[in-house]
């Protein structure tokens, strides 16, 4: 079988790449190892309404959020907006939409299809994928492969181009029925009571459905996030006391890279996108918006590169965009995260009090890792308390050095 572009991975990055590449005239095939698109939810689904709307994902695919609550062992704050800004996605429904968009442009999608071998034929200028599918084993030739296989980086690893992630987050989450949920408020819980080297969350999907989870940073902590999550629910730690009956209906489990972008994301005949290359916000470990944005960019640039046999040079615009748009944001966010990992419970009590002083727009810029020098200088001037200045100067110094 011969295609212009083969895509490995049917998450938001792969599906978005498939849509854009097919829309720009490429013959595209996508392989997803699970038995359906969105079959296993590996993300808590938090994202941002403005970006989702720009991608064509409308309010029928998410629950809107306007308020943000932070809880530490000895403190609690709430930042409220006058309009909805964040959202919690219906993950499966959203992924199915992205798959339908790709299919409508002509992409062929194979589900329950596992890549078992990959090779790059440099002299013949094509890639060969061997794939186990429900229709049998397929040998697929393509000029370009887009590795959107997520945390495991299947293709790049098989080609010996990358190694395993050394720093990453592990998340365990129950999607639950609850008697009463504040559907407009997203809750983050910090401090060792809730998570060693991470945080816990309550993300509402509706008035009676919520995601309750715990994320743990590795190798900073050896704690099992599922055990921690079970303990929080069994002990009815705040804010769970306000939810009434809590009945788990689904269990989600996922890994997300947490060490910044890989050094390179393009090679001859290969683009990496999404978690494969580390396109995730380290502060709240969300990556769906980056996955869609850079998936579409990878598909567009990949299709345009075909006339040059998808050499690394022809794929360079993607590499450049990845570095110019994301690298500084992610490095700065990692610096802030490094500070947060060292906080004691009592220090967290003080830290969230500082966050309380931010306006809703300042808070959103901060939590989204939108760290521009002008915005951070303005924050430091508006909030002259010593710890805030130290925090913001961390970001400024990092940006000035990159």
CA dist., res. 256 & res. 152, Å (int): 10
Chain mean position to CA 228: 22
The angle, 0 to 180 degrees and rounded to 10, between the axes of the packed helices 12-23 and 288-305 is 30
For 260, residues 6+ apart whose C-beta sits below 8 A from its C-beta are 278, 282, 327, 330, 331, 334
Beta partners for 204? 210
State residue 195 phi and psi, 5-degree precision: -165, 125
CA dist., res. 2 & res. 4, Å (int): 7
Residues 54-79 have a mean pLDDT of 96
**Using 50, 70 and 90 to split pLDDT, how confident is the model at 372?**
low
Angle at 84 between CA 176 and CA 368, to 5 degrees: 85
Helix (H, G, I), strand (E, B) or coil at 280: coil
Question: What percent of the chain has a predicted confidence (pLDDT) above 70?
Answer: 92
From residue 312, give the alpha-carbon distance in Å to each of 156, 265, 276, 318: 14, 10, 17, 10
CA dist., res. 165 & res. 400, Å (int): 27
The CA-based dihedral angle spanning residues 127, 259, 279, 172, taken in that order and rounded to the nearest 10 degrees: 100
Secondary structure (DSSP) of 164-202? --SSEEEEEEEEEEES---TTEEEEE-STTT-TTEEEEE
Helix (H, G, I), strand (E, B) or coil at 76: strand
pLDDT value at residue 300: 98
From residue 45, give the alpha-carbon distance in Å to each of 38, 65, 254, 316, 330: 12, 12, 12, 30, 19
pLDDT digits (tens, 9 = 90+) for 151-174: 999 999 999 999 999 999 999 999
**Using 50, 70 and 90 to split pLDDT, how confident is the model at 365?**
confident
pLDDT value at residue 402: 40
Q: Can you give the C-alpha Rg of the chain in angstroms?
A: 21
**Using 50, 70 and 90 to split pLDDT, how confident is the model at 281?**
confident
Beta partners for 201? 188, 213
Domains in the chain: ranges and CATH: 2-37+91-164+262-326 (3.50.50.60), 46-90+166-257 (3.30.9.10), 330-400 (no CATH)
Q: Give the range among 5-19, 113-127, 215-229 with minimum mean pLDDT.
A: 113-127
**Using 50, 70 and 90 to split pLDDT, how confident is the model at 380?**
low
- Cβ proximity of 13 and 275 under 8 Å: yes
pLDDT at 71 over 50: yes
pLDDT at 393 over 70: no
From residue 10, give the alpha-carbon distance in Å to each of 36, 60, 96, 205: 9, 21, 10, 23
pLDDT value at residue 122: 72
pLDDT digits (tens, 9 = 90+) for 317-346: 999 999 999 988 888 888 888 888 888 999
pLDDT value at residue 368: 84
From residue 247, give the alpha-carbon distance in Å to each of 183, 208, 224, 254, 296: 17, 10, 21, 21, 38
Pick the residue with more confidence: 43 or 392?
43
Q: Give the range among 117-126, 146-155, 157-166 with minimum mean pLDDT.
A: 117-126
pLDDT at 400 over 70: no
pLDDT digits (tens, 9 = 90+) for 238-258: 999 999 999 999 999 999 999
Secondary structure (DSSP) of 31-71? E-SSSSTT-S--S--EEEHHHHHHTT--GGGEEEE-EEEEE
Say how many residues make up the chain. 402
């Amino acid at each position: 079988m011969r295609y212009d572009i083969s895509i490995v991975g049917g998450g938001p990055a792969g599906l978005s790449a498939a849509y854009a590449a097919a829309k720009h005239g490429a013959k595209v095939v996508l392989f997803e190892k699970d038995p359906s698109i969105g079959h296993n939810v590996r993300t808590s689904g938090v994202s941002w309404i403005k970006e989702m709307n720009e991608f064509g994902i409308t309010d029928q695919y998410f629950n809107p959020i306007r308020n943000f609550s932070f809880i530490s062992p000895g403190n609690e704050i709430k930042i409220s907006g006058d309009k909805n800004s964040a959202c919690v996605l219906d993950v499966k429904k959203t992924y199915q939409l992205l798959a339908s968009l790709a299919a409508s442009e002509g992409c062929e999608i194979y589900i329950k299809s596992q890549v078992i071998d990959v090779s790059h034929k440099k002299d013949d200028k094509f890639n060969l994928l061997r794939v186990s599918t429900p229709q049998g084993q397929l040998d697929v030739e393509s000029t370009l492969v887009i590795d959107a296989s997520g945390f495991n980086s299947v293709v790049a690893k098989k080609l010996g181009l990358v190694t395993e992630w050394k720093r990453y987050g592990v998340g365990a989450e129950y999607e639950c029925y609850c008697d009463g949920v504040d559907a407009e408020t997203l809750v983050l819980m910090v401090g060792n009571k809730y998570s060693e080297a991470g945080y816990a969350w309550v993300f509402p999907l509706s008035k009676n459905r919520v995601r309750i989870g715990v994320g743990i940073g590795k190798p900073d902590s050896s704690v099992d996030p599922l055990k921690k999550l079970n303990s929080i629910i069994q002990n009815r730690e705040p804010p769970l006391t306000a939810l009434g009956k809590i009945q788990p209906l689904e269990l989600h489990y996922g890994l997300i890279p947490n060490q910044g972008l890989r050094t390179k994301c393009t090679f001859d005949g290969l683009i990496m996108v999404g978690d494969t290359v580390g396109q995730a916000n380290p502060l709240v470990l969300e990556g769906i918006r980056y996955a869609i944005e850079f998936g579409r960019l990878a598909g567009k640039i990949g299709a345009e590169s075909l006339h040059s046999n998808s050499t690394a040079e022809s794929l360079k615009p993607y590499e450049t965009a990845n570095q110019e748009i994301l690298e500084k944001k992610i490095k700065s966010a990692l610096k802030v995260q490094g500070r947060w990992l060292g906080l004691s419970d009592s220090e967290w009590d003080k830290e969230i009090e500082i966050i309380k002083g931010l306006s809703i727009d300042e808070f959103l810029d901060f939590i989204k890792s939108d760290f521009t020098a002008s915005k951070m200088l303005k924050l430091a001037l508006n909030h002259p308390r010593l710890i805030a200045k130290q925090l913001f100067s961390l970001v400024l110094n990092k940006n000035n050095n990159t």
